Structure 1
């Protein structure tokens, strides 16, 4: 009998990651923003444990688009990385920093809401970019900032950088084949689709608002023109209704959230059920019973499935029985088994348990 270790060539695995790992290339933005969320949540956990003594400050994640430079940048002010961590978490494919963090601090802090699991999300960036840069500085004292650059081959460069603030910038140089991701409307569409309920503020662009007095009237300047101010455009609701305790919500809160989910649906639901299960699996959500029309039309895309507030799919046939697909609403569970790209459900005993609870 012969025993050995299977070898994987990085030259061969990169094309697989870039072309076939994810069913839809647009998912790259969900993955990169999820990583930024994890970096921010880790910093909050470290502060709670007393392992970070600095100023947390504003943790808003910023997504910036530069059409002229053909770049898309995702910025966070989370834990950041030093040179050794870049070598470990970026250059070692499929090593999940979130998984390692949970393992290290599972008994000391709330780590249940970290998103990452497979350690592959970052590499989805190469599905749409010719070149990717990481500029990062760790939260650790005396840590030096570094810049990592890769053109999608197994070769990379890692050099010192003069970044002063902790955190990480991921800079994607968008390829000609993926120029749709240089359009503002497309990026906004994806952020709203995948990230609109993530737990850390996400900014994309700015809004111009009229300054108003205490009575709600526009304030005029010396030229009798309305005063305007520029404010960050925050695309997400960091505290959606399903994450709150039912006892804290009123009927109007549920109706307001329904309108947030379905802004083009002008009929209010008949009633709702707020799910909050923590054993033998974790499941939260709100299911709404819509007003039925004379002709019942079963729409199978009205229930949205989330994993730790990240949108996964609206195809929930495996978890919601067909006779209940006329319902609207949200289901969220970190225990729902997903494929490695987090694009669809994998059927197993947990799915049957959750389905049984819903019915």
Structure 2
């Protein structure tokens, strides 16, 4: 080792790591056991990484296989977690243990400090190693990268700095990492054999690397590293599934759904997947990456293979193929026919199991849908070939559903006589949609309308042909085809009179620069006016979204619809019939402004609108 590599280096943690360590040391958690799960998971990942690299470079791993070894000394107050995995170089120790290189760190810290949810959040933000400071007042890490002739020690008391020191190879592992914890006085139970055995059994029994307890004169195996996913389903207990889910998903909730099966035929593969109950922190990460781990004959290959589509990215677990070559590169994975076959089969199986869950346990399915429905609906747009399967799974809030959810089958089953379409209303939130005047005519006829408030709704609903032969139709586009459906209270149904026809003609001329057309409406019941999109344009909400993206106020002129039975429209119609064109023309921009406000928008010219309202008030009070 050269002269320049014999000096200890002192570094400061990045600001957020220092804050995190302070919280780890000074906060109280209901379950400190998780620190050992995190260290074992890190050790298992290091072994899996080397196992993968050794496919192309066998000399890196050598002989003897992989293992994680625990040892403790209560008198010395130490606990050691050692592995013979990939190890870390000087720079990797500095970067990996001095920086949190994962998005979402700030959100993690806010939750940790403000809500005390450390137990639920550790493991989700790449901060698992730092949980060691919950039980240790000093941590020393000695690591040697596989194939390297250098070894380094990282050491810190969690007080803002860490030291990096070169280590003589005689005192370092042949490869891998040794994490030595100097336990604080309140955590000496973690130096006891029965405590370590309990934690390993509870949290880490199914990591794919053997875990051993070094007792000095003998070594005892705590976990055999057997892959849970290759065992028969009948040989696995519910607790074992839950433990493995916590390990592979880095989550603390219970899975809502467990899929464990072996596919045989042209391709053979084992599947162990879980559908969570709670949203993972990265559910809406822009990369939309899945987190399913791909193995080939129990050798970890990658967790970035596109096995499940992005709209099932919340699914966690393992897929282990018997038919892929061990030495295949990640580039080869992208367009591999075996992967495509596996992806097709597993996607279908997940959708099938979700559909079954909806039928057999509606309450649990509702929790799943509340967490992941917005993501699953992305598939309606991105995977049109899967729409028939997805339509069995997707659920909707509707104008008649209350706090519950409705399937499309439920909606069609309750169609009114002469109803020909599945009606929907797009909006930014449920409250806004329910306040829309466009729903009045549908409500007056007892018609159920889907409430679509997720961003993807505006896109899939335009490309979907329909369900069970019934097309989807927006309540804000084109003429409302409600004439065939009787109002619940037929006495309140007013037919437009001849006077209204004159009003329509006058308004068309007055508003020719602002609207594409003026007509009477059957979709209104209590509001005087509303704006709708033309028959062949975009839905009103979709138009707004597209215009916003293009930096425009609007893409085209809307259609103004009048409620012929409303007192205001009747009064204006009487003015038009009496030849008072000036009064109608003066009221015309107010009608459009009112319609825009009812549509959740501001008038196109707020100042002029306000001035006109003031003038009307003055006249009425004079």
Q: TM-score, normalised by structure 2?
A: 0.35
Distance 1:48 1:307, change over 3 A: farther
Structure 2 residue corresponding to 1:120, chosen from 127, 134, 137: 127
Provide closer, same or farther for how the CA distance between residues 158 and 303 of structure 1 changes in structure 2, counting only shifts above 3 A: closer
Equivalent in the alignment of 1:176:
185
Aligned counterpart, 1:152? 158
- In the other structure, the counterpart of 1:201 is 210
Residue 15 of structure 1 deviates from its aligned partner by 1.8
SS at match of 1:68: coil
CA distance in 1, matches of 2:188, 2:41: 22
Distance 1:239 1:20, change over 3 A: same
2:241 is equivalent to residue 243 of structure 1: no
Say if 1:22 and 1:332 are closer, same or farther in 2 by CA, change over 3 A: farther
8 Å contact kept, 2:256–2:274: no
1:307 alignment counterpart: 245
Q: Which has the higher helix share?
A: 2
- Conserved in 1, the CA contact under 8 Å of 2:136 and 2:182? yes
Note closer, same or farther for the CA distance 1:165–1:58 as it changes in structure 2 (3 Å cut).
same
Kept in 1: contact 2:18–2:158 (CA 8 A): no
Aligned-pair CA distance for 1:8:
4.6
Contact 2:66 2:209 in 1 (8 A): yes
Q: Aligned-pair distance for 1:56?
A: 4.4
Partner of 1:161: 167
1:15 to 12, 17, 22: 22
What do residues 246-275 of structure 1 show as CA deviations (whole Å, max 9, x unaligned)? xxx5xxx93xx35xx4xxxxxxxxxxxxxx
Unaligned runs of 5+ in 1: 1-6, 97-115, 208-229, 262-286, 288-300, 322-330, 341-347
Q: Which residue of 2 aligns with 1:319?
A: 256
The one of 234, 238, 244 aligned to 2:221: 234
Name which of structure 1's ranges 129-138 and 19-28 shifts more when overlaid on structure 2: 19-28
Residues 308 and 334 in structure 1, CA contact (< 8 A), matched pair in contact too: no
Question: Aligned residue pairs: how many?
Answer: 245
Alignment partner for residue 69 of structure 1, among 54, 68, 76?
76
Find the aligned partners of 1:305 and 1:353 in 2 and give their Cα distance: 24
Give yes or no for contact 1:81–1:137 (8 Å, CA) kept in 2.
yes
The 10-residue stretch of structure 1 (65-74 or 163-172) with the greater mean CA deviation from structure 2: 163-172
Spell out the pairing of 1:201-350 with structure 2 (5 A cutoff).
201-205=210-214, 232-240=219-227, 242-244=228-230, 249=232, 254=234, 257-258=235-236, 261=237, 304=242, 306-307=244-245, 310=248, 316=254, 319-320=256-257, 333=273, 336=276, 338=280, 350=314
Q: What is the CA RMSD across the aligned residues, in angstroms?
A: 3.7
Deviation of 1:165 after TM superposition, in Å, equals 1.2
SS in 2 for 1:196: coil
The runs of at least 4 aligned residues of structure 1 exceeding 6 Å deviation read 311-314, 351-355
Write the deviation string for residues 96-134 of structure 1: whole angstroms up to 9, x where unpaired: 9xxxxxxxxxxxxxxxxxxx7632111010000000000
CA shift for structure 1 position 312: 6.4
Q: Deviations over 1:162-191 (max 9, x none)?
A: 125111100000001222212221111101
CA distance in 1, matches of 2:142, 2:281: 30
1:62-85 CA distance string (max 9 Å, x none): 000111110000011111111111
- Deviations along 1:47-70, whole A, 9 cap, x unmatched? 113385451433111000111110
Instruction: Please say if residues 203 and 243 of structure 2, whose CA atoms lie closer than 8 Å, have aligned partners that are also in contact.
Output: no
Instruction: State the structure with more CA Rg.
Output: 2
8 A contact 2:79–2:191 mirrored in 1: yes
Q: Which has the higher contact order (CA 8 A, sep 6+)?
A: 1
